[in-house]
Structure 1
Amino acid sequence: MRKLTYMFKHKDKHQLCLGFFAKTLLFISCCLLPQLMFGVVKLPKLVSDNMVLQRNVNLPIWGTAAVGENVTVTFNGQAHSMLTPASGKWEITLSPLTAGGPYTMVIAGSNTITLSNILVGDVYLASGQSNMELEFDYGSASSFYADEIAASANANIRQFKVSKSVLPATDDVAATPYGWQAAAPANMRHFSMVAYFFARDLYSKYGVPIGIINSTYGGTIIESWISHEGLINFPNLYNQSPPSIADTNPSILHNSMISPLLKCKIKGVLWYQGESNVANAFEYRSLFPALISDFRAKFNAPNLPFLYVQLANYSGVTNPQQTSQIAELREAQALAQTISNTAMVVSHETGLSGVDIHPIWKLPVALRLSAAAQNRIYGETNVAYISPSYLSSVVSGNKMIVTFKNVGTGLNQVGATLNQFTIAGADKVYKTAIATITGTNTVEVSAATVASPMYVRYAWADNPRNANLYNSSNLPAESFRSDQPSESVSFTAVPFNTGNLVVTRYGDGNVLPATDTTVPIFLDEYSNAGVKRNVDRPMPNIAGNYGAGIANLISGRHSVGVEALLSLSENKKYLAFAANNLTAGVPVNAVGSKTIAVLSADGALNTNTTANWGVARTATVNNDLSRVYYISQTQGLSYVPYQSTGANVVLAAGENGYRSAAIYNGQLYVSTGVSPATQIYAEVTRQVSTLGTGMPTANTQILM
């Protein structure tokens, strides 16, 4: 009892002492937080013993250390130092290195790390889902490739396998049990079959060490591999907030399995994915180019070579097959060949069993990828890698003559009968056809049950296992259909050229639209010499109706010729304009919400911001997109948060008085015409004014 009494009597004194101690400790902890977080020099898992570094490029080496700690990297005759900045993260760049090794690297700070057995050569990122992931211990692969596994020992071919993860974005990959491994019989069970055979073929030809970064995850969709920023053209994905963590969430695998690799310099990308996207095959036409663009942007390599595999044959055999989502996915992949520095290899005859979604015959796939790399990356233009593909078809009586391109010295067939051609009349009911090679690049196709043919297909099926048309380089012909789907291809971002002029065009540019109707909006880009580029760059609307020029312009009694006027952000990264979310040609209302479109310099379009006050005419944005301002016909100047459909705030009211808005040195400016005073609005006179202080978001502001 005395002790309790004593403690209560001296409560204030004890609290004072304890409080002082706690505050002192907190102060010391805060001061030492970066040191406590990073402490000694540490390296990411990718920078380790046995690693392969990319030759002939400026090469970053990175890690963490205590703030202010001097870190020195010594490697192959180079020594570079830096003081660790306040972030606790350091990065030192080595000058370009030629192929060779093994070498030793020393990273020294308060501690010293020595990395050994390092090679310099070519590094490839292998990514996608299970068919890229499949290792030599999958199913019967170990027996099928027993001889290759036994002869696999090669210290100059190495793989770093990224562990599967759905963790939030970090600076390092999740724990990996293997690190960098050299090819060897005992290690083949961890190696991607496609990536290994690709590396083996390149090494046998060039003698340059090959490193593979294997970042794969079976059963995953392409949306999960694209960064959040890369999904800006897909509002339904960009705005998702999934309730739980799953490998199907948009961007989740980019964050956990690609983002930690972005400092690494790579020679190119190997991609094999799509099986999990057959249900949205048509959207893949836009998603796949978005992925390629996103990888190039994130790796800061605008022309990064991107080599990919078209889906193999799998599932049950149906002949003729009238519809096929798998064939549509292959078609979407084939369309991406128009993107610069990409290459596709066909694999629809590599499924030996025919029904397995995971064919083990990966060697021909890898050799075709290697041929593509030799041509596109290593400059061996005499190496053929492009498969024959459909060029045109014409009707000749009861037959169709199909012309192919990329045939080399001529088309060939394997076997006595040319398979997998089907033909249809106006009813589009396809029948199995008799096909005959009739020339260097032509095939004659007919069916006794189709008297008046109109359409032809080849290998258009889930499982065209007996497809047997090849070119002179023994490359299989692409599947195709001459009847194209009715939907139009969705908008794909196309970068603008620095210094070019961008002009809004209404419809064909000859006349204004009829009163109160809409016409497509186009942005025409001109060089300083007046040469037009991207003649038809349509702007899609919110609803995703992506036909030519759909994102539309209201015109007529209220807004003739004043909508879709462009505004450039102060940092010159964003164009903004206001437009209607309506289909071309439909009647429009004189009042109502408008879309504020924001277009970035790389061509990515965001249409998720809605102007709710009045009839928006023009819009502008600030450098980080935290402010969107628009001028409307009936409400003056308003603010709306980026990607918001509500929360519009009228900053300065005045009917018809406001003309344009712009931001300069962080200050919002407006230009105004003459607007007489009314019962609601004050008089507005002609002037250029500041509006409030800085970039205001609350009403009501004063013109100064």
Structure 2
Amino acid sequence: MSGEVMLVKGLYTHGVVFSKNHPLTFLGTYEENSQVRIEIDQDGHRLYDDIHQVSNQGKLYAKTIKLKASYKEVAVKVTTKNTTESFVGYVGEVYLGAGQSNMAYALKYDNHFDEILAQENLLKGIKCFSVADSLIENDVIKRPLEPLSDFIKHATWIDSSNPSFSDYSGLLIMLGLLHQKIKDYPIGLIDVSVPGCSIEGFLPIETIENNPTIKSYLEENGFLKYPLSTINDYTVASGIYNEKIAPIIGFPIDQFLWYQGEHHVGTNREYDYYKEALKRLIESYRVLYQQKVPVILIYINQTYYPQDDNYSVSRINLAIQDNQNIEDEIYAIPTYDVIPTWKNSHTKGIENPIHPTNKFYIANRIHQVIHKQSSPVLVTEVRVLTHAIEITFDQRLKQDKGLVEGFTIAGDDHIYQPAEAQLINQNTIILSSRFVDHPVYFTYAFQLDNHSFTLKSTKGMPLPILHSDEDLSRGRYYAYYGYEHFSHLDYFETAFDPLYGTPRIKPLLFLGELHHNRDLKIIKGKHHIQIHYQASAQRDYKERFGVSLDLSKTGFQLMFSSFKKIELKSTFESKDEVAFLGLLFKDVRNQVWLVKPTSHNKVDNEEVYELDLCEISYADLNKETIELSKYNQIKQMELVFEASDNAVIELVSMIHHL
């Protein structure tokens, strides 16, 4: 190592932020067994001046003094017999952010971009450091096979005066902004995220080699082949760790934030692997850093992936949730309850449904947990009763609106039904269903589209995803409707598919449980869908109820301008008249719209309705007497019926016409 004299490239440059909770620490690569002098000044006073020994491997690891957090500049000079390095830094808090593209997603694409840039005084206290990909040959990114002691490329700390500030992680900057509102000292943000990456890229190779669960999974899936390759397909074992984490091991941090998992959505096998890999990642980093750094784990967005089997994303979020340990300062942050947006005036054609542009609420929840203003909700007790399940939580709960939705229960047959949930004593939920005599298992929010589930703590933290059944292939979700007996060309909707990045043709999806009515039961046959409406008591008035249609697994609203009309065929069985009132839905601005049937005919015992999508107007809604408050949870589309007695409605077909 003779002749190389340097601190870690870029890390020790003007604007660096040191942790107020630890001694100022210096890392570098120097001549073996040499000596390094470190001088620290503040306000014209010499606070520290001492000599540190470089190891016989040429490594400098020097702890100096602990200083109070402030905006006062700290002048540092590091000298050897031949060289001098000088820079000015600050003392505050340091957050390390890691993960995939949602951690890396630039501030300039966020819905709050303009609002954030306007807060210039607060932004001045945010210092950002990003570790770029270093090994690029012929446009191919590669990863080193051994841990590096230094960065290959030189980087610097930047602030809001730098033009590239808006390219930095939006989530981290928003978190820094919230920090600045309550703290009178700087915050340093270090981003080591890699879009599209896998978790094994962040694991030290020793962790992989010494863990049978992790190693066997990677070998079975071809992600751990010997000799190891440097070519980056985002799954190079330990590659990201070697390049971006290893050089700063020992530089004290105050929070470790992890926002990753999209790469791993899949089966129960992926759940087992990801749960174990995440656990070992946290353990290994704490050992290497020699500090019990608090950890924030962020749920990935509940959106569609091509390999989805209805529960794939929920499994990853459950693996994240299962790693939470409040006593050990590991916190999981749910994100499923807020409808994601993908497009705004800043995205300019780069929209992708796996990249929400509204992440400020995530930053706010993280901020509240870090500063003890809120905490994740915990289950303290589960009691399986004769005809119900009782779940007690550690905090008082509140339901924002309407019924408590999102719970399902099942008996020993593992057949799940939407549960009727009652909130009692502000912290206990009683679950039951007329279709499950002896419930044993339960789930909460364990499905793809669960944005309507609004049960939260009184401080605004959503309940965690819950699943008490060991078999994570079980649950209650949507089923394809029409797939078996309609061609895709006649019966389809256009949606964005992240796998291909282009519109794909998909069959229409029927979703009976998204906005469940406790009086409804959905029976799905191969060639039909039956809606059984069971009146809880004889009524002398007609009650309106709805069943949901999921027209896009991606979160995009259907572009109605692409279609001319919808044709619905159904049959009704009831002692009293059953009426089809129309199609109710919310647009991306959360406005509620209604499409009424423009024609109604009876053909061969089938009720045939046509809805002219060109006639949609907000004004129509004001003329309708539907109690809209009952349907204010609608996120996509809902067929609305009216009946006063028990009824069976069979949907024969529903076809969109261009």
Same fold (TM over 0.5): yes
In the alignment, residue 347 of structure 1 is paired with which amino acid? Answer: T
Given candidates 360, 375, 381, the residue that maps to 1:385 is: 375
Contact preservation (8 Å) 2:9, 2:153 = no
Query: What is the Cα deviation at residue 147 of structure 1?
Result: 0.8
Q: Distance between the aligned counterparts of 2:471 and 2:380, measured in 1?
A: 16
Q: CA deviation at 1:214?
A: 0.7
Secondary structure class of the residue paired with 2:324: helix
RMSD, aligned CA: 2.9
Query: Which string of whole-angstrom CA distances, capped at 9 and with x for unpartnered residues, describes residues 166-196 of structure 1?
Result: 234211123255x111245844423222222
Match of 1:229 among 206, 211, 220: 206
In 2, the alpha carbon distance for the partners of 1:403 and 1:105 equals 56
Is the aligned partner of 1:108 residue 2:73? no
Comparing both chains, which one has the higher relative contact order based on Cα–Cα distances under 8 Å and sequence gaps of 6 or more?
A: 2
- Distance (Å, rounded) in 1 between the aligned partners of 2:305 and 2:26: 49
* Unaligned stretches of 5+ residues in structure 1: 1-33, 376-382, 488-704
What is aligned with 1:189? Answer: 166
What is residue 272 of structure 1 aligned with on the other side?
259
- Per the alignment, residue 416 of structure 2 pairs with 430
Quote the offset at 1:112 in angstroms: 5.0
1:309 equivalent in alignment to 2:298: yes
The aligned amino acid for 2:38 is V
Any conservation in 2 of the 1:312–1:351 contact (CA below 8 Å)?
no
Q: What is the match of residue 352 of structure 1? A: 340
State the partner residue of 1:241.
Answer: 226
Whether the aligned pair in 2 keeps the contact of 1:389 and 1:406 (CA below 8 Å) is yes
2:371 match: secondary structure: helix
Matched residue, 2:532? none
**Shift in alpha-carbon separation, 1:251–1:83, aligned structure 2, 3 A:** closer
Q: TM-score, normalised by structure 1?
A: 0.57
Higher Rg of the two aligned structures: 1
Of 78, 81, 86, which aligns to 2:51? 81
Is structure 2 residue 457 aligned with structure 1 residue 471?
yes
1:419/1:322 Cα in 2 relative to 1: closer, same or farther (>3 Å)? farther
CA distance in 1, matches of 2:461, 2:411: 30
SS in 2 for 1:307: strand
Partner deviation per Cα, 1:502-530 (whole Å, 9 max, x = no partner): xxxxxxxxxxxxxxxxxxxxxxxxxxxxx
Compute the displacement of 1:478 (Å): 1.0
Which residue of structure 1 aligns with residue 130 of structure 2?
161
- One-letter identity of the residue aligned with 2:452: N
C-alpha distance in 2 between matches for 1:477 and 1:486: 19
Which residue of 2 is the match for residue 204 of structure 1? 181
Paired with 2:457 and 2:472, the residues of 1 have a C-alpha distance of: 31
Displacement of 1:432 in angstroms is: 3.0
Matches within 5 A, 1:667-682: none
356 and 388 in structure 1: CA distance in 2 versus 1, 3 angstrom threshold: farther
The one-letter code of the counterpart of 2:64 is L
Is structure 2 residue 317 aligned with structure 1 residue 330?
yes
8 Å contact kept, 2:29–2:150: no
**1:389 and 1:477 in contact (8 A); partners too:** no
| Contact 1:350 1:362 (C-alpha < 8 Å) held by counterparts | no
2:203 maps to amino acid: I
Counterpart residue identity of residue 335, structure 2: S
Name the CA distance, whole Å, in 2 between partners of 1:443 and 1:83. 61
What's the counterpart of residue 147 of structure 1? Answer: 115
The residue aligned with 2:358 is 361
**Structure 2: how far apart are the matches of 1:176 and 1:152?**
27
Structure 1 match to 2:552: none
The aligned amino acid for 2:363 is A
Identify the match of residue 16 of structure 2 among 40, 48, 51: 51
Q: Is the 8 A contact 2:7 2:26 kept in 1?
A: no
Cα deviation, residue 203, structure 1: 2.8
**Aligned to 2:329, which of 331, 334, 341?**
341
Partner of 2:137: none
- Deviations along 1:91-135, one digit per CA (max 9) or x if unpaired, are 433122222322221222355545444101111211111221112
What is the CA deviation profile of residues 657-700 of structure 1, one whole-angstrom value per residue up to 9, with x for unaligned ones?
xxxxxxxxxxxxxxxxxxxxxxxxxxxxxxxxxxxxxxxxxxxx
Distance in structure 1 (CA, Å) of the matches to 2:272 and 2:54: 48
Describe how 1:538-617 pairs up with structure 2 within 5 A: none
Structure 1, 55-64 or 275-284: larger mean CA deviation: 55-64
Report whether the alignment pairs 1:442 with 2:458.
no
With over 3 angstroms needed to count, the CA separation of the structure-2 counterparts of 1:89 and 1:332, relative to structure 1, is closer
Q: Residue 112 of structure 2 contacts residue 360 of structure 2 at CA under 8 Å; is this kept in 1? A: no
Instruction: Give the partner amino acid of 1:121.
Output: G
Q: In the TM superposition, what is the alpha-carbon distance from 1:67 to its structure 2 partner?
A: 5.6
Whole-angstrom distance in 1 between the partners of 2:240 and 2:248? 12
Indicate the residue corresponding to 2:96 in structure 1.
125
For normalisation by structure 2, the TM-score amounts to: 0.60
Deviation by residue 1:546-575 (Cα, 9 ceiling, x = unmatched) = xxxxxxxxxxxxxxxxxxxxxxxxxxxxxx
Give the whole-Å Cα distance in 1 for the aligned partners of 2:459 and 2:108. Answer: 31
Provide the C-alpha distance between the structure 2 equivalents of 1:486 and 1:307, rounded to a whole number of angstroms. 24
Structure 1 contact 149–188 (Cα < 8 Å) conserved: no
Structure 2 Cα separation of the partners of residues 47 and 180 of structure 1: 9
Per the alignment, residue 139 of structure 2 pairs with: none
Q: Which amino acid aligns with 2:169?
A: S
* Match of residue 373 from structure 1: 370
User: Cα distance, 1:351 vs. partner?
Assistant: 4.0
Q: In the TM superposition, what whole-angstrom CA distance separates every residue of 1:188-235 from its partner, at most 9, and x where no partner exists?
A: 423222222222222322323211111101111111111011221134
> Secondary structure at the residue paired with 2:365?
helix
Cα deviation digits, residues 359-386 of structure 1 (max 9, x gap): 22222212222222223xxxxxxx3212
Unaligned regions of 5+ residues in structure 2, if any?
A: 135-142, 343-351, 474-658
Q: Which residue of 1 aligns with 2:284?
A: 294
Provide the C-alpha distance between the structure 1 equivalents of 2:455 and 2:58, rounded to a whole number of angstroms: 59
SS at match of 2:125: strand
Moved more, 363-372 or 468-477: 363-372
The 3 A distance-change label for structure 1 pair 185 and 458 is farther
Structure 1 residues 84 and 249, CA, compared in 2 at 3 Å: closer, same or farther?
closer
Q: Check the 8 A contact 2:341/2:358 in 1, yes or no.
A: no
> Distance in 1 between the 2:51 and 2:290 partners?
24
The offset of 1:56, in angstroms, is 3.8
CA deviation string 1:49-81 (max 9, x = no partner): 111112242333233445676532211221122
Partner of 1:182, secondary structure, is coil
